[in-house]
Amino acid sequence: MKNILVINSGSSSLKFQLIQMPEEHVLAFGLVERIGQESGKLSYSSEKFSTSEERQVSNHSEALKSVTMLLMDSKNGVIKNASEIPAIGHRVVHGGDKFSETILIDEKVKTTIKTLFSLAPLHNPPNLTGIEVAESIFPNSRQIAVFDTAFHRSIPPRANRYAIPNSFYEEHNIQVYGFHGTSHKYVSEKAMEHIVDKKSKIISIHLGNGCSITAIEDGKSIDHSLGFAPVNGLIMGTRSGDIDQSVIFYMINQLGYTAQEVSDLLHHKSGMLGLTGYSDLRDIEAEAEKGNRNCKLALEMNAYRIKKYIGAYSAAMNGLDAIIFTAGIGENSNTIRALVCRDMEFLGIELDENENAIRSKEIRKISTNASKVNVLVIPTNEELEIAKQVFSLTSTSTSSV
């Protein structure tokens, strides 16, 4: 039996779970939200204690230190000291062409993760920060990296190559890498259990501050909305998603922006934030209810982009058995789910409005009985998937690691 701490550092959040493996027993879990914003929030729960408090958290380092203090609190903590955690699993968004499997972290691995900052500027930096802070707090724990890009290694060349000169692929490894792979893998496996068919055509829609959609055939990723870096595809909290490349050239050549300024704009100032002034969908939905036209349009645009990908991936797989909504927005926003599934009868998608309105942490079907496509809400558990991979790796002999 091992206690495995899983750290999932997102672009504006830090999720964690302390899990006893292989029993998959969660000792404690929690979330630090809105990191770097004025109104942050820290939530922590264990079997004997829970707390939720508003607090400003300036960066990921501060967030992880706060979590650690709660885990080792003399009165309400679940461990006495750092030695009770032999292994820590870290979600790392971009592994480039260097990492395709879960790996023990050393200085070389950290250096390589750092070289990939430019490909995932919102994610790899906080991912590496999480690793470095964990190393200082848990110096005797084995630090393990689990890469979001690994699940998408099965995408075939016809889908993962760009129509630019071959030399860019052959010499610089420019291709579709894909992201949120840990989440898409976990929920698609749950969906296959739910519909009792391993040979399934599934579209998994991960909607959070970052968003992506994956075509999964017989358990393998065959196409994905995010590509070389996690900025294209669906409209996200602060990221633009798909955009005509000509707009970028126009901004540089005609409007006087530098390449770095455009990159910063597309990563940090676009998406729902650029359209509405808000990056959190809860704020946008509240404003839309009040009649805010920009917020109403942004919700429509968001859903429309998802619908286009559903149509494309249904065509690519020549069929569709199930759609999964997952992650913070996918699991909790009945508004987005309803907008996405509206007027999709041609593809055999019919939403049950009553089921869609229900809030639950359980796997549930929200399509009608007449719907030819199962529409499922499946809470993602990237942390458990990471813990499984960490346990598998650390259970082998030291030499094999």
| Residues noted as catalytic | 148
Q: Is 330 annotated as a binding residue?
A: yes
| Whether the Cβ atoms of residue 117 and residue 149 lie closer than 8 Å to each other | no
Q: Is 292 annotated as a binding residue?
A: no
Q: Is 206 annotated as a binding residue?
A: yes
Q: Is 329 annotated as a binding residue?
A: yes
Q: Is 123 annotated as a binding residue?
A: no
Q: Which tokens sit at 27?
A: 């000792």
Q: In whole angstroms, how far apart are CA 390 and each of 78, 91, 92, 124?
A: 20, 11, 13, 19
Q: Is 382 annotated as a binding residue?
A: yes
Q: Is 242 annotated as a binding residue?
A: no
Q: Is 372 annotated as a binding residue?
A: no
Q: Is 31 annotated as a binding residue?
A: no
Residue 380: strand, helix, or coil: coil
Q: In whole angstroms, how far apart are CA 286 and each of 209, 242, 274, 339?
A: 17, 26, 17, 16
d(C-alpha 225, C-alpha 157), whole Å: 15
Q: Is 210 annotated as a binding residue?
A: yes
| Whether the Cβ atoms of residue 371 and residue 384 lie closer than 8 Å to each other | no
d(C-alpha 134, C-alpha 126), whole Å: 12
β-bridge mates for residue 103, sequence order: 145
First to last CA, the chain: 19
Q: Is 282 annotated as a binding residue?
A: yes
Q: Which tokens sit at 400?
A: 């094999």
DSSP 351: B
Q: Is 127 annotated as a binding residue?
A: no
**Which has the closest alpha carbon to 214: 193, 245, 189?**
189
| Whether the Cβ atoms of residue 131 and residue 16 lie closer than 8 Å to each other | no
Q: Is 334 annotated as a binding residue?
A: no
DSSP 312: H
Q: Is 15 annotated as a binding residue?
A: yes
Q: Is 81 annotated as a binding residue?
A: no
Phi/psi at 361 (5° precision): -100, 5
Phi/psi at 389 (5° precision): -70, -40
Question: Amino acid identity, residue 256?
Answer: G
| Whether the Cβ atoms of residue 2 and residue 392 lie closer than 8 Å to each other | no
d(C-alpha 105, C-alpha 146), whole Å: 10
Residues belonging to the binding site are: 8, 15, 91, 206-210, 280-282, 328-332, 382
Residues belonging to the binding site for Mg(2+) are: 8, 382
Residues belonging to the binding site for ATP are: 15, 206-210, 280-282, 328-332
Residues belonging to the binding site for substrate are: 91
